[in-house]
Structure 1
Amino acid sequence: MGCGKIGDVTDEHRSRNCVCDVVRAIKDIQDQATNDECPQCPTNCFLEPLGGLVSPASRRQADTRVFMLLTKDGDPFKAFFRDNDRFDCDCISVFFRVEDIFDGCCATLRVLEPLDRERKEVDLLNDCGTKIDLRKLCKVRNFRSTGSCVTVDLECFCAIECIADVFLDVCD
């Protein structure tokens, strides 16, 4: 079971992981292009079709559901990406797009570069460059696809937060 939980659990519960289920649902949603009515809860990761987290008008434009994963300590999971700008050090992100799910609960995630309203890079690190500055997450309004991917065991995470549905023009 995810989050390092130990104890008496049935085999049925041992094989289930909500983060894995949500990421699997996001992948299914991204693979579909349906025009259903918007459900009532606008921040639910299970919303279909893509575009539901943003607005009904942007449904045709969305090809990615951006999300964050949280560790058992409640910290955002972070990954490195190759930055095209060689003159700065803002190469860490907490934002992802699911690319593939395999072996039950493993996934390949594309790291997304965080951008502000003007589509400029947002450096998420604190002044020392050692930790994520959670206040800087509020500056993120846009995303750019990177060429960096990470393979994860989804059972190692305790929470997932869907951020936005966006168009990144990612080839599937």
Structure 2
Amino acid sequence: MGCGNNEHVSGHHDKNQRCVCDVVRAIKDIQDQAENNCGPCPTSCFLEPLGGLVSPSRNNADTRVFMLLTKDGDPFKAFFRDLTPRPHDNDCVSVFFRVEDIFDNCCATLRVLEPLDAQRHGVNLLNGDGTKIDFKQICKVRNFDLTGSCVTVDLNCFCGIECVADVFLDVCD
């Protein structure tokens, strides 16, 4: 059950317990099909076509970048390895993802995306002692890069999802 909520409503599962799964499925469909249907919120995860999130003129996007939020409201984090290491680049934690696949009962394979600043330098998202995510560092992220790391998650374990940007990462499908 999502968000640590194991209660049933009138003998049925609460519809909201699958909302993160449904959103990630929608992102996958949008990435795959890129249909044209705009919603009222400019950063809605359901916004189509791909490329319309934040910069509606972008039509060559192949990835909708998103963050998952735990029941505490903290961003879910995962470790990564760079596909092409940069000099003096020792960052290895990210909160940004691209959906690669969804299967079974709301399980998903997510590619971990490397957070980059406006100059395309890696952004270390950890605080000074390396134990927690530093939210000020997240605000410095302006670009993303593919990594060689994927994580498989149960989408029912998350309480929120925030779509961040539509970008072109030259993903081979």
Give the alignment's TM-score, normalised by structure 1: 0.92
How do 1:46-65 and structure 2 match up within 5 A?
Answer: 46-58=46-58, 60-65=59-64
CA-CA distance at 1:26 after TM superposition: 0.2
The residue aligned with 1:77 is 76
Amino acid at match of 1:56: P
Q: Deviations over 1:67-100 (max 9, x none)?
A: 0000111110000001324744310000000000
CA-CA distance at 1:42 after TM superposition: 0.2
Equivalenced residues, count: 170
Amino acid at match of 1:107: A
8 Å contact from structure 1 (residues 38, 56) kept in 2: no
The residue aligned with 2:7 is 7
What is the distance in 2 between the residues matched to 1:167 and 1:14?
Answer: 33
Q: Deviations over 1:99-151 (max 9, x none)?
A: 00000200000000000011111000111011110111000000001110000
The residue aligned with 2:121 is 120
Q: Measured at CA, do residues 29 and 14 of structure 1 come closer, stay the same or move farther in structure 2, by a change above 3 Å?
A: closer
The residue aligned with 1:170 is 171
Q: Tell which deviates more after alignment, 87-96 or 18-27.
A: 87-96
Q: Which runs of 5+ in 2 are unaligned?
A: none
Give the alignment's TM-score, normalised by structure 2: 0.92
Q: Identity percentage over the alignment?
A: 74
Are 1:101 and 2:111 matched, yes or no?
no
The DSSP-based 3-state class of the residue aligned with 2:163 is strand
Amino acid at match of 1:65: R
What is the distance in 2 between the residues matched to 1:5 and 1:12?
Answer: 10
CA-CA distance at 1:57 after TM superposition: 1.4
RMSD of equivalent CA atoms: 1.7
Q: Which runs of 5+ in 1 are unaligned?
A: none
